[in-house]
Structure 1
Amino acid sequence: MASLQILHRSVLEQIHQACLLAKRMPEEVRLLAVSKTHPSAALREMYDAGQRAFGENYLQEALAKIDELKDLNIEWHFIGHVQRNKTKLLAEKFTWVHGVDRLIIAERLSNQRESSQEPLNICLQVNIDAQDSKDGCQPKEVALLVREISQLPHLKLRGLMVIPAPNNVHAFMDAHELFEKVKTEHLHPEDWDTLSMGMSGDMLEAIQAGSTMVRVGTALFGARDYSK
């Protein structure tokens, strides 16, 4: 298997080429390394390759890695479903939370973020293509949520996160249209800069549609082993 450094360079090159094809600047798209189920040693190796932003789905697993890797300057993103009883640790330990889809969750994160910390970066998760199996607010709910969450202290509302069904490229375009439309509703439009969409199998299409952050796991770390 190729080293993680080689895989990292390969993914960055794919992002670069996708941006050129879309007539976009490569620096417009950030790479978020999705590291769930992979050991801390793999994250350390990826960090040595230059990766700084890592996304985790499972809180307890993430907390263990945060402790084991506390000597590294990692930007930790939580990209899993946000449960009400987990918000305190998310507010304390993470730099970004992507899965916010209700006002009560945002309020709890704001209340539980220490004023001494930098504001917690938030993305609204939107169920852009009405999948029964997916979390997220409905597109029609986004404008009101943006207005309400924009007023909360200790949070910085950065944009939207979507996970469309496989091969639903049109959903990427719908998400970009919603992202641009809702920017006018934001009390702090200068903060509204993140459209988190696209994974290992569809990041090229997502970048073509306007993604500013791709969440890549398998293409960086290899297949996940869920038996551990």
Structure 2
Amino acid sequence: MTSIADNLGSVTRRIQKATLAAGRAPQEVQLLAVSKTRGPDELRLAAAAGQTAFGENYLQEALDKMKALADLEDLEWHFIGPIQSNKTRDIAGQFHWVHSVDRLKVARRLSEQRPAGQPPLNICLQVNINREASKSGCTPEDLPELAAAIAELPGLSLRGLMAIPDPDQPDGDLRQSFRALAHALENLRAGEPRPGPLDTLSMGMSDDLEMAIAEGATIVRVGTAIFGERHPGS
């Protein structure tokens, strides 16, 4: 049975190989360990192996892990799940990044509730790149207007875009989905005034991270390849 440390090493090598194949530097891509449903002990093992950035989908579960791992001061917490309006205060106060902002109401709440002593909250706008009815995310057409409005919010820093393309589509279509998100970011960068740093593309997971990196991903969200298959029902 491979260990979490071994798995992290394997994923890191995959990222390095993919970035070199794409003519990019390995440090251009950050590994985000998707740790939903994983226990604090598993995260502690990953942290001992050098992993610092963890992505959580469920607020209360994440808050419990933050408390259990409070002695590890260098951890970086990313919220990557759907955001309920009544949960924004804790998300704004406890996380370093939010990848799943898809509407202005939520963005305003996150900005207003970001504690004054903390730097602006790093956010990505989630784009429903394949227009799936079951997926969250703004439409590509609504993206420029939403980005411009969010740029006016003082508590937020718009770092880029996130998408969860349909994993069941053919590889050629999946690559086109990643490419479409990259083009959407390029279009935002070309706007005046530029609505934020716009240096981040959060896309790619365990099965398709190489393809995502080839199309410009700067954060890949990997869970199964690090922690193994989730238990049934989790």
TM-score by shorter chain over 0.5: yes
Distance change >3 Å, CA 152–CA 190, structure 1 → 2: closer
SS of match in other structure, 1:98: strand
Deviating runs (4+, > 4 A) in structure 1? Answer: 186-190
Matched pairs, number: 228
1:191 offset after TM fit, Å?
1.5
Q: Flag the 1:96–1:186 CA change in 2: closer, same or farther, 3 A.
A: farther
Gaps (5+ residues) in structure 1? none
Q: 2:182 aligns with which of 149, 155, 176?
A: 176
1:15–1:204 CA contact under 8 A, matched in 2:
yes
Structure 2 residue aligned with 1:90: 91
Equivalent in the alignment of 2:31: 31
What residue number does 1:119 align with?
Answer: 120
Q: Distance in 1 between matches of 2:127 and 2:20?
A: 28
Q: Distance in 2 between matches of 1:46 and 1:147?
A: 37
Determine if contact 2:188/2:194 at 8 Å carries over to the other structure: no
CA root-mean-square deviation = 1.3
Scaled by the length of structure 1, what TM-score is found? 0.97
- Give deviations 1:181-208, integer Å, cap 9, x for gaps: 1112374566211000000011111001
Give me the whole-angstrom Cα distance separating, in 2, the residues matched to 1:29 and 1:173: 16
CA-to-aligned-CA distance 1:112-168 (integer Å, 9 cap, x gap): 001101211000000011111110000011111111101101111100000000142
Letter in structure 2 aligned against 1:182 = L
Deviation at 1:227, TM superposition (A): 3.5
- Structure 2 distance, partners of 1:98, 1:68, is 23
Establish whether residue 9 from structure 1 lines up as the match of residue 4 from structure 2.
no
Aligned equivalent of 1:216: 222
TM-score, normalised to structure 2, is 0.94
Q: For 1:27-66, what per-residue CA distance to the aligned partner results, in whole angstroms no more than 9, with x for missing partners? A: 1111000001111001001001111100000111111001
Distance 2:90 2:64 in 1: 12
